[in-house]
Amino acid sequence: MHVNKVSRVRTIDRVAKDLDEDVDFLFDVAIEMEPEDGLIWVLSLGDESVMALTDDGVDSLVELLKIHREMPPREER
């Protein structure tokens, strides 16, 4: 039997504070991630939801940030 071993998650706001990054930039990068990468959505009352990351998800996001920073800027058309 498979047992999920995630014991905590951090909201994208908390991750931004921990990494000293802009939350909107992190959101734009993290939106590419899947649950397998450690990204989940926490649902609240009504239609509200919050992006959250497992510890492995934070590690994946840090790697994605490195990739995004190495990419040349896109040309505006």
- Tens of pLDDT, residue by residue over 13-43, are 999 999 999 999 999 999 989 999 999 999 9
Using an 8 Å Cβ cutoff, are 58 and 47 in contact?
no
What is the pLDDT confidence band of residue 71, given thresholds at 50, 70 and 90?
confident
pTM: 0.81
Q: Where are the domains of the chain?
A: 10-70
Q: How far apart are CA 13 and CA 21, in angstroms?
A: 9
pLDDT reported for residue 47: 86
Start-to-end CA span in the chain (Å): 52
Q: How far apart are CA 77 and CA 74, in angstroms?
A: 9
- Helix 23-30 crosses helix 12-19 at what angle (to 10 degrees)? 120
